[in-house]
Amino acid sequence: MEIFTKSLTKRRFSFTDIIIIAVIFIILYIILKLSSGMNIPFVQGDHLNIDLSPLMLPYYAGRSLLRMFIAFFFSLLFTFIYGYIAAKVKTAGSVMVPVLDILQSIPVLGFLSATIIAFMAAFPNSLMGVECASIFAIFTGQAWNMTFSFYHSLMTIPKDLEEAGQMLHFNPWRRFISLELPISAIGLIWNGMMSFGGGWFFLAASEAISVLGEDIHLPGIGSYLAVAVESGNVQAMLYAMLVMLVMILLVDQLFWRPLIVWGQRFKLEFSEAKEQPDSFVYNVLYRSFIMYWLYSHIFAPIGIFFNRCILWFFDRLEKAPHTYVSINAGYFVQRGCKVFIALFLLYELYAPAKEAVFMLYDIGFNDLYQAFIMGLYTGGRVLAALFLGALWTIPVGVKIGLNPRLSAKMQPLVQIAASFPANMLFPFFTILFVEYHVNFEYGSILLMMMGTQWYILFNVIAGAMSIPNDLIEATEIFELSGWKKWKSLILPSIFPHLVTGFITASGGAWNASIISELVSWKKYTLTASGIGAYISTATSAGDWNGILVGIAVMCILVVLINRFIWHRLYYMAQTKYHVD
Amino acid sequence: MKNLLELKEINKTFKIKGTSDSTILENINLHVKEGEFLAVLGPSGSGKSTLLRIIAGLIPSSSGTVSYLGKEIKGVNPGVAMVFQSFALFPWLTVLENVMLGLERKKISVEYKREKSMQVLDIVGLDGFENAYPKELSGGMRQRVGIGRALVSEPDILLMDEAFSALDVLTAENLRRDLLELWLDKKIPTKSIVLITHGIEEAVYMADRAIILSSGPATIIKNIDISLPRWRDRKSPEFLSYVDEIYSIMTKKKIPMTEMLVQTKKDLIIPSVSAGALTGFLELLEDLNEKIDLYKLADRFLMDMEDFLPLIEASALLHFTKVTEGDIELTEHGVEFARATVLERKKLFRQQLLEHIPFVQKMINILRSKSNKQMNIEFFEELQSQTFGEEIGQKQLELLIGWERYAELIEYDDNKEIVYLEQSV
């Protein structure tokens, strides 16, 4: 495991080390304390009290954070297993990658009610079930992106390194830690950070949920806000937002920044980049004696021990001489396996599918038609949110992107803004809507925009930054300005990034529709007609037919829109407007 | 001396979708003796690298056997180590860690691995750099790490895949000398070296024996023992006569073959040369105004075999030049072309294209027969793919379209992917 920590050299013990030790112990203690709250007894019908005193906020925030990290751990685990199999077993990959693509595009929040019921059944008489459902919701917001990144890295390993690995007789484990893991590290860290940012939204949405006619409030910052909203306590709402912001900043500074700096060593290019990321925390840890001591006396020996065990295991496994990787002998076995898996899946799917079909049959054509119309309303709202978002983000993003100094400062800010769960802002807008009697059919578009516009802005900035300098100079020489400059240079060159931004934003908007088409403030409830409101109404009422229809309609619409709009635009962007 | 490595009747065909399999290697028989430095020479795309990868056991051959010490190998060859053209170093590992990877499989303690690796770093001239990362090193030093990593496992056979061609001239020369010194002074336990290269001088300078591959499908066309005493003088007449001999073998064998193909009116492989490069080459030949040795020409233009051979082939294919016994001269058409104005050149080029490349004729006839004088490119791609397979077919068509556009025979719209007939044709 030497490659992961080796840059630590001898350090002297200093005052910072005392602080680091203290921080380590505090973190360990907090984790212990927080996790003990996860498995308290709970039966359906119990009411979990959320205390609105600001003193309780750190505890709730900690619980939420713990959930985020547990979900992240499982996302990582899922990424490695799923991505590795998809990349290594060709036949599995041809099924697993499209499945991942669909998973990525369907709005998972719609399934929350189903997962809560399932998890509650798995952990009867304990809060663990609800806890797991929340963690699962966050997981679904994080995992797909990371898995794609890992899969992509595995598929694009440079051929010469792959061959070098073979010539050096790497076994699968050695190949994994010496080649595959390092090569995918940078992509994983970046995507992990983005996914983690997206996870906050799911956290806030999944902690406080009314399902099957019951309100469940998991101890956490999302519930704190929800209870504050119910009781109309604006001060508590502001506290919650502030704590959320602090938490996002802390995680960014203490966890992601150091990771990004550390990850630089896995860059594949041989040339040194001009601007290196920097992190204060990383520097402190890097220089501290205690980290060095911990590394050389605890982590390194453990790592070496495990490494040796696994290598020994693989060596035993490979007593037989190496043979070529692809040999036809296993072909029939593979075939048989495929048929078996297909039959098994069909068998497993048969019963639920039959049930679903019967349910749909019961619902009748008219209701389906209604749901579909609702879906179209929401679709219109999603497009409107994207359009409105693009309207202000394109000019602003280009302005920022074309100014290197400004973009260096703004990019982290935009990233934080994108991480901030927009659903925590919803109550404030609800208050305004109620006060000024805004038509919520349109007002909900604004709510959708809150979360999704940042993705567009982020990508527009990146696009504007990537415009080659010589092209900008050329437009100046030809004295192109105003609309001409936009038409001939700026819009075509940001187009691929814009499409990427739209795709991400559209996914976010569909997910957001489930919570942004139905909001409440004290006794007022605002509803916009749309599939999102349809699903959340059905969820809180425990109307299984409604949930099923709503989710089905939404999934179909999202997948269709992805196939027929976004994929085409994406293809066009990749082929025609690719600036290289 | 016994055979370290033996290849018997090696064939390699790649399955290409939609066509008959394409053969890369045909009936290769080869053996490497202990104490021998063998160079494998061939034009680019001749399958040298494929041959090396079969020897290394990285890819299986379609038929035939590779044996090491008389035992047939079924996977990665246990007796070899490889030096890569692109170095293939792990950028996240230090120089020392990269070299230690070469000992990964050996059942020895980490301390001993470190010690051995340090010794090897010393031998390849890298001591003091053990804690540096590859990105901190120059190209030549990176390749020294690559060589060190291969040597540390003490392989019987060292395979070198164009190991010097990514380096600049001086660095490459320096590294060649150092490697040769290690080899000749027996400072390394390596028993044989197999060097894949397209550099004729490199092969004559370093190897005891050279085999020359023909291109597509590759067969061994010549086996030459280079019996010159070490160290060899690149300027000596004996050295130059070897270089000249190999040059004429490599060019002679090729050109009559293509001529034969032209006569039978079959579609042929177009050398990958742009119309602009070809024009420049003909102008240079015109300036020289004499029959000239090919290797002298390459030397004069400071050109690599890799870039040089396609030019010779393309100009001969269009009958602008004539190649005999390793000498090249302009034909009548060639002289006319070189002296013509830009517009006249296009006309001459058009004539030669239509006359000597059947596929161009076919394309023009097809376009003429259509009422709207246009055709989807896919149609032509399909035609080419049937003969050459998808990948080569597409490349071929791209080249041809480039030539035809230059000759103003056709126009091509890349967005709509449609080929139009030029109005004047």
Assembly ipTM = 0.74
Q: Does the pTM of the predicted model rise above 0.90?
A: no
Same domain assignment for residues A559 and A472: yes
Q: Which residues of chain B does A179 touch, with a Cβ-Cβ cutoff of 8 Å? A: 90
In a domain, A56, yes or no: yes
Number of structural domains chain A divides into = 3
Whole-angstrom distance, CA of residue A207 vs CA of residue A244? 14
Whole-angstrom distance, CA of residue A455 vs CA of residue A187? 18
DSSP secondary structure letter of residue B271: P
Supply the pLDDT for residue B17.
Answer: 59
With 60 as the cut, is the pLDDT of residue A31 above it?
Answer: yes
CATH fold for domain B257-338: Arc Repressor Mutant, subunit A (1.10.10)
Closest-CA residue of B relative to A324 is B75
Same domain assignment for residues A122 and A143: yes
- CA nearest to A495, candidates A194, A406, A475, A503: A503
Q: What is the pLDDT of residues B82-109, one digit of tens each?
A: 999 988 999 888 999 999 988 887 888 8
Q: Which residues of chain B does A576 touch, with a Cβ-Cβ cutoff of 8 Å? A: 415
Same domain assignment for residues A28 and A45: no
Q: Which residues of chain B does A166 touch, with a Cβ-Cβ cutoff of 8 Å? A: 58, 76
Q: Which residues of chain B does A6 touch, with a Cβ-Cβ cutoff of 8 Å? A: 94
d(CA B101, nearest CA chain A) in Å: 7
- CA nearest to A40, candidates A130, A136, A134, A133: A130
Which tokens belong to A21? 């030790």
Same domain assignment for residues A300 and A428: no
Same domain assignment for residues A440 and A293: no
Residues B27, B31, B34, CA angle at the centre, nearest 5°?
170
Classify domain B3-250 at the CATH class level: alpha beta
- B→A contacts (Cβ < 8 Å), by residue, are 53, 56-60, 74-76, 80-82, 84-94, 97, 101-102, 104-105, 133-135, 142, 149, 415
Question: Kind of pairing, strands B71-72 and B22-33?
Answer: unpaired
Write the CB contacts of B420 (distance below 8 Å, at least 6 apart in sequence): B367, B373, B374, B410, B411, B412, B413
Cβ–Cβ below 8 Å for B101 and A272: no
> Which of B50, B67, B90, B413 has the highest number of chain A CBs within 10 A, making it the mutation to test binding with A?
B90
Cβ–Cβ below 8 Å for B57 and A161: no
Cβ–Cβ below 8 Å for A182 and B90: yes
Cβ–Cβ below 8 Å for B105 and A272: no
Whole-angstrom distance, CA of residue A492 vs CA of residue B137? 39
Supply the pLDDT for residue B157.
Answer: 93
Q: What is the pLDDT of residues A427-461, one digit of tens each?
A: 888 888 988 888 888 989 999 898 888 888 988 98
Write the CB contacts of A345 (distance below 8 Å, at least 6 apart in sequence): none
In a domain, A275, yes or no: no
Supply the pLDDT for residue A423.
Answer: 84
Cβ–Cβ below 8 Å for A160 and B86: yes
Question: Kind of pairing, strands B327-330 and B292-293?
Answer: antiparallel
Supply the pLDDT for residue B147.
Answer: 93
Lowest mean pLDDT among A156-165, A467-476, B214-223, B293-302: B293-302
Same domain assignment for residues A81 and A100: yes
In a domain, A283, yes or no: no
With 60 as the cut, is the pLDDT of residue A274 above it?
Answer: no
In a domain, A263, yes or no: yes
Q: What is the pLDDT of residues B237-256, one digit of tens each?
A: 899 889 888 888 887 644 44
> Which of A9, A166, A168 has the highest number of chain B CBs within 10 A, making it the mutation to test binding with B?
A168
Cβ–Cβ below 8 Å for B76 and A266: no
In a domain, A335, yes or no: no
Supply the pLDDT for residue A5.
Answer: 44
Q: What is the pLDDT of residues A181-234, one digit of tens each?
A: 998 998 899 888 888 988 888 888 888 877 666 778 888 998 998 888 888 888
Q: Which residues of chain A does B94 touch, with a Cβ-Cβ cutoff of 8 Å? A: 6
Phi-psi sector, A169: left (phi>0), alpha (psi -120 to 50), beta: left
Supply the pLDDT for residue B20.
Answer: 60
Q: Which residues of chain A does B134 touch, with a Cβ-Cβ cutoff of 8 Å? A: 270
Closest-CA residue of B relative to A318 is B105
- CA nearest to A303, candidates A177, A192, A179, A184: A177
Whole-angstrom distance, CA of residue B70 vs CA of residue A34? 66
Whole-angstrom distance, CA of residue A334 vs CA of residue B379? 37
Lowest mean pLDDT among A388-397, A468-477, B115-124, B230-239: A468-477
CATH number reported for the structural domain that contains residue A183 in this entry: 1.10.3720.10
Supply the pLDDT for residue B425.
Answer: 66
Cβ–Cβ below 8 Å for B75 and A323: yes
Same domain assignment for residues A364 and A225: no
Whole-angstrom distance, CA of residue A63 vs CA of residue A38? 8
Residues A503, A509, A513, CA angle at the centre, nearest 5°?
155
Same domain assignment for residues A47 and A183: yes
Whole-angstrom distance, CA of residue B328 vs CA of residue B313? 11
Write the CB contacts of A397 (distance below 8 Å, at least 6 apart in sequence): A456, A457, A458, A459, A460, A461, A463, A464, A494
Q: Which residues of chain A does B76 touch, with a Cβ-Cβ cutoff of 8 Å? A: 166-167, 169, 322
Closest-CA residue of B relative to A171 is B105
Same domain assignment for residues A301 and A363: no
Supply the pLDDT for residue A323.
Answer: 54
Supply the pLDDT for residue A1.
Answer: 38
Cβ–Cβ below 8 Å for B58 and A576: no
In a domain, A580, yes or no: no
Same domain assignment for residues A252 and A294: no
R_g of chain A computed on alpha carbons: 26
Supply the pLDDT for residue A270.
Answer: 57
The mean predicted confidence, pLDDT, of chain B is 85
The mean predicted confidence, pLDDT, of chain A is 82
Supply the pLDDT for residue A504.
Answer: 83
Q: Which domain holds residue A31?
A: 1-36+288-319
Whole-angstrom distance, CA of residue A403 vs CA of residue A282? 28
In a domain, A308, yes or no: yes
d(CA B133, nearest CA chain A) in Å: 10
More confident residue, A317 or A569: A569
Closest-CA residue of B relative to A272 is B135
Write the CB contacts of B63 (distance below 8 Å, at least 6 apart in sequence): B9, B10, B11
- A→B contacts (Cβ < 8 Å), by residue, are 2-3, 6, 158, 160-161, 163-164, 166-170, 174, 178-179, 182, 265-272, 321-324, 327, 576
d(CA B102, nearest CA chain A) in Å: 6
CA quadruple A173, A174, A180, A185: dihedral, nearest 10 = 100
Which tokens belong to B272? 């990958």
In a domain, A339, yes or no: no
